[in-house]
Structure 1
Amino acid sequence: MGRVAPDRLSPTAIGDLLAAGPVVLDGGLSTALEERGHDLSTSLWSARLVRDAPDEVRAAQAGFVEAGARVLITASYQMSYSGYEAAGLTAAQCDADLLATVRIAREAAGDRALVAASVGPYGAARADGSEYTGYPEVPRGALRDFHARRLEHLVAAGPDLLAVETLPELREAEVVASLVDEIAPGMPYWLSFSATTGGRLTGGAPFAEAAASARGSCLAVGVNCTAPALVDELLEGASAPVPFVVYPNSGARYDPAGKTWADAGTPVFTADTVRGWVERGAALVGGCCGTSAAGVAAVAAALRR
C-alpha cells in the first residue's frame, strides 16, 4: 500500500475556518433524505441513493449549506466492500461510489463549504448498530483490512479533510490514524466517537483517554451520534491537544433492525446548549441523526451571536 497523492490536499482551508471562530457542520444526511421521502431501511442506508438518486443526495446536502453549514460530510459512511458484497454489488462499484460521494458533496458545497469524507466505523458494515455497542473481539488486523482500501479511494477523491466518525473503539481510531499517516500524510481529519453514560465510549473505553490520543494531522476529537444530554459531561471530563468536534444525534432511540429512530428526540439544539459546547472547547459543531437543515440553521444562528 503506497501513499496517495490526491489533487486536493488543503490543510490550510479548514485551518483558516477554525481560525475565524467555531465552524458549523452539517446535520444528519439520512434525516434530510428521509424528509425528502426516501426509505433508508436497507443495509446500505443512505449509500444506496448515491447509486439510485445522486441528485437527491446533492439536494439534501445543498440544503445544509443554505442553512449555514461550512463543512459537508459525504454519504460514504455506510460504504464498505463487505457491505456491497452482501447487497449483491462489486468492489469496483464500491470504489466508484466512494469517489462519487466526494464529487456530489463538492457540487453541493460550491465555494461555500468544505467537504469532509466520512470514514464510518467497522460496525456500520454490519448494519446491526454495532457502532453503538462496540466489537472488542475484532482484531486490529481486521480493522486495518476493513479501512485501508476504502480510505485510499476517499483520499484519492480529493476531499478537504476526513471525518473519522461514530467510532466505539479507541483501537479503531488508532488503526485509522496510522493508515492516514501512511496513505496521506498531512491530510487533516477529525476523530469522533460514539459515547454513552459515565464518560465512556460505547465500546467501554474512557472518552478522556480517546480525547488525549489525538496526534499528527488530527485537527479535532470529539463525539457524534451521541445523546446531546451527555455532551457536557463528556467534554468536562476530558482534555485534548486539539479542539473538540461535537455533532450529537437528537437523543432519539435507534432501532438497528428497522434502521429507524424510535422518536424525534431534540432535533434543534438551543442556543445556550450550542454556546455551552463551545465554551467547553468545541470548535466544530453540528448535528447527526435527527438533525435536519432547521437544526443546522439553529446551530449557525447560535454561533453568530
Structure 2
Amino acid sequence: MMSHMTPHALTGALAMRSPLIVDGAMATELEKRGVDTANALWSAMALIDRPDAVRDVHRAYFEAGANIAITDSYQANVPAFERLGLSHAEAERLIAVAAEEAIAAREEYRASHIGDEIAGRPLLIAGSVGPYGAFLADGSEYTGDYAMSDAEYRNFHRPRMRILADSGVDAFAFETMPNLGEARALAGLLADEFPGMEAWASFSLRDAGHLCDGTAVEDAASALGNIPQIAAIGVNCIPPDMAEDAVRRLHEATDRPVIVYPNNGDVYHPETKTWTPHPVGTGIPRFAPQWLAAGASLIGGCCRTTPDDIRALSALVRER
C-alpha cells in the first residue's frame, strides 16, 4: 500500500497553485501507440496487454505540463472485466494496474526532472470513476437514461474505489456523470467509507445549463457543494464551445473550485463507437482563456485531446 500525498491532496494542490492543469485523452494516445480501443472496455483494454503504453501516455501528459493524471479506469470495473471472462481477482488486479501505471509515470517524470524549476509543481493522480452508463457501453453516459437505487450505485462503484484508494491515488475523479442520482450516491459513498479522500464531481451535459438527465447545473452544484470531500465541481466531455457558459453557471452556484475538461469538439456516435471530426476543428486551447475568465480553477481535456493541447494550456497558464 502506498501512502497518500495528503488526505486533502486536491485542496492542498489548489492552495499551492491555481489554475491546475488536468491531462487529456487516454484512448486517442493509446491508438497512436497501436492499441485497439474499439471495444466495450475502450482504453481499459490496454491494462490487459499494454500497460507500458498507459504509463507512456501518462508520462507524455506530465511532460506537457499536466498537474493531474487521471487513471485509465473510467471503463475499468470488475463486472466489465468479468464479462470478458477474467476472474474476479484478475479484474481487481487490472484496476490496481491503472493506478500503478499512473503513479509510476509520475515517479519516472520526477526522477528525470530533479533540480528543474518544474520539480516543485503539484503532481496528483486522480482515480477515474466513470458512471454506471459507461459500463453499459451503449452511450448511456451521454443520456443519463438509467436509474438505480442509491445502494445499487454504491455497490457498483465501491470495489473500484476501494482498489484505487488502496493503490495510492490522491483523489477520485467522479467524471462524465450524466445524472444527479448517481453523483449523490458517489458523494455519499465517499463521505461514509472513504473519509480520508477527496474527489471532484464533473458532469456530462445536455446543454450548457442542464445535465444529461435534465437537472439544472445550479441544482447539481448545490446538491454536492455541502459535502466537504467534494473538492471541485464541474463538467467534462462536452463540446468546448459549451464550456464557458457552464463554467460561469457553476461558478455562480457554488463556492467550490470549478473544473472543466471538454473534448476537442469532434462528435461521438455511441452506437458505432466512432467520431466525426469537427468541421472547423475547434481545439481546446482557443477556448481556455474564456473558461479561466468565467471562474475555472482546473482545466484540461477529455476525448480526442492530446499532449499538444495540454502543452498549450500549460503555456497559457504560465503566461498569466
Q: TM-score range by the shorter chain?
A: over 0.9
Aligned residues: 300
Q: 1:124 to 1:136 in 2, by over 3 A?
A: closer
Q: CA deviation at 1:35?
A: 2.1
Cα RMSD of the aligned pairs, angstroms, is: 1.8
**Alignment map for 1:1-305 (pairs within 5 Å):** 7-8=3-4, 10-19=6-15, 20-110=17-107, 111=110, 113-197=123-207, 199-212=209-222, 213-214=224-225, 215-238=227-250, 239-263=253-277, 266=281, 268-271=283-286, 273-305=287-319
Whole-Å separation in 2 of the counterparts to 1:44 and 1:90: 16
Give the AA of the match of 1:59: D
Alpha-carbon deviation of 1:241? Answer: 2.4
| Cα offsets for 1:228-262 (capped at 9, x unmatched) | 11111212223212010000011221122332322
C-alpha contact (below 8 Å) 1:267/1:295 kept by paired residues: no
Contact 1:9/1:187 (8 A) holds in 2:
no
* CA positional deviation for 1:263: 1.6
Equivalent pair of 1:194/1:201 in contact (CA under 8 Å): yes
- Give the structure-1-normalised TM-score: 0.93
Q: Distance in 2 between matches of 1:251 and 1:25?
A: 17
- CA drift of 1:139 comes to 2.7
Give the TM-score normalised by the residue count of structure 2.
0.89
Q: Distance in 2 between matches of 1:39 and 1:135?
A: 28
The 8 Å contact of residues 24 and 300 in structure 2, kept in 1 or not, is answered as yes
- For residue 93 of structure 2, what is the amino acid of its counterpart? A
The residue type paired with residue 174 of structure 2 is: V
Distance in 2 between residues matched to 1:293 and 1:150, nearest whole Å? 27
2: CA distance between counterparts of 1:298 and 1:268? 10
CA shift at 1:122, angstroms?
0.4
The one-letter code matched in structure 2 to 1:234 is A
Give secondary structure in 1 for the equivalent of 2:42: coil
Q: Per the alignment, do residues 281 and 11 of structure 1 end up closer, same or farther by CA in structure 2, a change over 3 Å counting?
A: farther
Contact persistence 1:268–1:294 (CA under 8 A):
no
Q: Is the contact between residue 24 and residue 284 of structure 1 (CA under 8 Å) also seen in structure 2?
A: yes
Once residues 168 and 204 of structure 1 are traced to their aligned partners in structure 2, the CA distance between those partners, rounded to angstroms, is 9
The CA distance in 2 between the partners of 1:15 and 1:237, in whole Å, is: 21
Match of 1:283, SS state, is: strand
Matches of 2:40 and 2:282, distance apart in 1: 24
Which is further off, 65-74 or 16-25?
A: 16-25
Amino acid at match of 2:284: F
